[in-house]
Every structure is written in structure tokens, then in C-alpha cells.
Structure 1
Amino acid sequence: MDDLDKHILALLGADARISIATLARRLQVARSTLQARLERLESNGTIAGYTLKLGTAGRMGRLRASVLLSIETRAQAPCLTRLKSIPEVERVFTTSGRFDLLLEISAATTQSLDAVLDQIGAMPGVRSSESLIHLSTKIDRAV
């Protein structure tokens, strides 16, 4: 990946809806060059897709939480399968340390958040869980 690829990714990270013509103009490259670069970045897996990032107004009224899970040996694959079926589970990370998985979840109400936490805690293979409810965002550098 060269500097042009990195600049393409940075601009798309800031605004994935930017037009190819505008992107080519900002990068001072031909539109055909940019199109070829995008196709290559998509085909080699660097760009997995284009998505929507909700702003503050879009996240209003949503409760967010991080859940740390300790999983029994050999139970990770079945747990991940079950977690994929829970729409409130937005991201799952493997971790090192005391916990095996870190989940990011979002729910509309405290009741639905509570129900999701109960559902996750009751899954076969889950040894223990710890929930951290997000109160406010102080820094957000995520692309």
C-alpha cells in the first residue's frame, strides 16, 4: 500500500459517500486511476465495504455497553455463532488477559439492554461476564 492508497482510505474514512470525481479531484489523479485503485483495494480485501457511521443525533436514545466474557475452553465457536444472532451485539473482539471476548452492544431501552445481558450471561459456555454501561463519550477517533 502506497501513499495514494493511504490517502484514499483516509478520505473515504471521513466520508464514504464522497463521489469518485470529487475524490479524484482532491487527490489530483485521473478518475480512471482512482477507479482502478478502488477496485484493487476492494478485491484484495483492504476495503471490505462501505458503511454508515451514526453521529450523535443518530445514537440518541441508544444505550451502549461493553461486555467482557470469560468462555469455557472450546466454547468460543458456538458462543460466537449465538452472539451473531443477537442484533444488539454490534462488535465482538477476542482479547488477552482475564477475559476471552469483548462485546460492544447497543439497545433502545434499559429493559432491552437488561434482557440482552441476561441472554448473553445464560449462553452455554459462558463462565462469567462483566458489563460496563457507557455514560458519555469524551473522545471518539474511530473512523
Structure 2
Amino acid sequence: MDKFDQHIVALLVANARMAVAAIAREVNLSRSAVSERIRNLEQKGVIRGYHARLGAAPAQVRAYMELHYLVHRCEQHAARLRNIPEVRQAFTISGDTDIMLYVEAATMARLEEVRSHIERLPDIKTVKTHIILSELIHNPG
């Protein structure tokens, strides 16, 4: 990637809906040259898609949950967790925690319901919840 490609990628990361004409003006290339560069970046896998980044609803509660199991079969437990729509991500991590969940719920009451449901799943030893108070850094790149 040369300096033009890097500049184009940076502009698209900042605004994936930026018009090719605007990018062309910004990088000082023709629209056709910018279109060709974007097409090449897509074909090489440098640009793998264009996504909408959704903000959390004002009343939304976000949390991480540490799950500790009596029997350590993470894949089996993950299959049960996939059925809970508020569970957005699940990770195996190093240390004592068996699975770390990222959960988004509409309200605190709903988060409590989700936690209660998870606590009743087979082989759960403990669930430790960490409510997200604020986001200091968001770097999707």
C-alpha cells in the first residue's frame, strides 16, 4: 500500500459512506483512479466490508460476565449461551474464568433476568457481573 492507498483507507475508516468524488478531491487523484484503488484494496482483502456502527440506545445496559463452571466444556456451554439474544460475544480467556461474555440488555431488570437464567444453566459454579459505566476508547480499526 502506498501513501494514496493508506490515505483512502483512513478516509473510509472514518466514513465508509464517503463518496468517491470526495475521496478523490481529498487525495488529489481522479475519481476513476480512486475507484480502481478501492476495487484493488477490496480484492486484496485490505478492505473486507463496509459496516454500520450502531450506538447503544440511551437506556441500554452493557456488561461483562465471568462464568465459572464445575465441568469445563466450553463448547457445550457456548451452545446454550447462543440461545440468549442479549449475549453478543463469548470468549475463552486465560486465568480462572472459563468464559467471558459481553452482554447488552435493554434495562437493568432485563440484565438481571439474563444473569438469573445463566446462573440456572447446568454446571454453573459462579457468575460475576461487571457493568460497563462508560466507554473511554473505541478503536474498531
Q: Is the TM-score greater than 0.5? A: yes
State which of 133, 137, 140 in structure 1 corresponds to 2:137.
140
1:85 has 2:83 as partner: yes
Indicate whether 1:21 and 2:21 are aligned: yes
What is the Cα deviation at residue 77 of structure 1?
2.0
SS of corresponding position for 1:59: coil
Q: What are the within-5 Å matches in structure 2 for residues 63-142 of structure 1?
A: 63-71=61-69, 72-73=71-72, 75-124=73-122, 126-137=124-135, 139-142=136-139
Q: Please report how far the alpha carbon of residue 113 of structure 1 lies from its aligned counterpart in structure 2 after TM superposition.
A: 0.7
Q: Quote how far apart the aligned CAs of 1:15 are.
A: 1.9
Once the two structures are TM-superposed, the CA of residue 64 in structure 1 deviates from its matched residue by 1.0
Task: Report the 3-state secondary structure (helix = DSSP H, G, I; strand = E; otherwise coil) of the residue aligned with 2:118.
Answer: helix
Q: Which runs of 5+ in 2 are unaligned?
A: none
1:11 aligns to 2:8 (yes or no): no
Q: Name the CA distance, whole Å, in 2 between partners of 1:123 and 1:95.
A: 20
Give the Cα separation in 1 of the matches to 2:60 and 2:98.
26
Distance in structure 2 (CA, Å) of the matches to 1:124 and 1:13: 43
Deviation at 1:40, TM superposition (A): 4.7
- Counterparts of 2:123 and 2:37, CA distance in 1: 44
Bigger Rg, structure 1 or 2: 2
1:104, CA displacement in angstroms? 1.6
Amino acid at match of 1:131: T
Q: Cα–Cα, structure 1 residues 94 and 28, in superposed 2: closer, same or farther, change >3 Å?
A: farther
Q: Secondary structure at the match of 2:49?
A: coil
**Separation of aligned partners in 2, 1:94 and 1:5:** 36
For 1:30-69, list aligned pairs within 5 A. Answer: 30-43=30-43, 45-55=45-55, 58-69=56-67
Runs of 5+ in structure 1 lacking a partner?
A: none
State percent identity of aligned pairs. Answer: 36
Q: Structure 1 residue 128: deviation in Å?
A: 3.0
C-alpha distance in structure 2 between counterparts of 1:140 and 1:52, whole Å: 18
